[in-house]
Amino acid sequence: MSHPLPDPLPIGSLALTLRRADPRNAGLVVEILAHVGPVPEWRIEDGYRVRRIDGQAIPSSIMYGADGQITDANASGQLVAIQDRRYLQPLNQNGNAPSCVRFLRRPVSR
């Protein structure tokens, strides 16, 4: 039985990744880029496309391949990945990021 999902995340907001199978993915500050919805083949109930705000790769993740198919990006050093909403904790509170992430710089858009 599925648990109800938390509130949706606004595009452009910041979130903290929570621990799941790979502990290297815990505690990353990410920007929400897009909502992709369910990805049943990876047991993702409500997926979001995310990017670390420090510009580094996400160590173990799921991403879209060049052919448009969803793939495991474990060793490819992807900068944009898909995370399940259950493992994203919003950081923006009342429109402001908490002080612990203010020192981090977002990468320049390309």
> pLDDT grade, residue 55 (50/70/90)?
confident
Predicted local distance difference test score (pLDDT) of residue 100: 55
Residue position matching structure tokens 């402001």: 96
* HEC per residue, the chain: CCCCCCCCCCCCCEEEECCCCCHHHCCCEEEEEEEEEEEHHHCEEEEEEEEECCCCCCCCCEEECCCCCEEECCCCCCCEEEEEHHHEEECCECCECCHHHHCCCCCCCC
Q: Output 53 or 72, whichever has higher pLDDT.
A: 53
Average pLDDT of the chain, as a whole number: 75
- Over residues 60-108, the pLDDT tens digits come to 766 666 666 666 655 455 678 888 999 999 986 565 555 555 545 555 5
Q: Output 105 or 54, whichever has higher pLDDT.
A: 54
- HSE, side-chain direction, 13 A CA sphere, residue 73: 20
> pLDDT grade, residue 29 (50/70/90)?
very high
